[in-house]
Amino acid sequence: MRNLEDWAEVGKLVDSGVQIHFATENVDLKTVAGRLSADIQAVVAAHYSRNLQEEVKKGLYKLREKPFLSTGHPFQERYHSGTTFCSKWYQANRKK
């Protein structure tokens, strides 16, 4: 779980006696050591989510700083290096 609020709710359910089993993790939430292990995993997952969000923002800001080409599309240079897409299309479709 990447949301610590949801993880707190899971903790409340376990404290009230509800048995919870995870499909991908073998964690025993009935023991103190199992709870500690699960808490650490939840905190690391929350950190991963926040870090990923920050890295995506940095990438978008870098992309925004790149100059636009003739069509105004920032991804154009990646797919059409050399000449612009518009000039290639025009050359291929102009009337002869």
User: CB of 17 within 8 A of CB of 60?
Assistant: no
- Of 57, 77, 82, 59, whose CA–CA distance to 67 is shortest? 77
Task: Supply the DSSP symbol for 67.
Answer: P
Task: Supply the DSSP symbol for 18.
Answer: -
Provide the residue type at 33 as one letter.
A
Question: Model confidence over 3-36: pLDDT tens digits?
Answer: 888 889 999 999 999 998 888 888 889 899 999 9
Please give the model's pTM, rounded to 2 decimal places. 0.57
Checking if the pLDDT of 77 tops 50, the result is no
Checking if the pLDDT of 90 tops 60, the result is no
Inter-CA distances, 15 with 8, 10, 47, 67, Å = 11, 9, 25, 56
Task: Supply the DSSP symbol for 31.
Answer: S
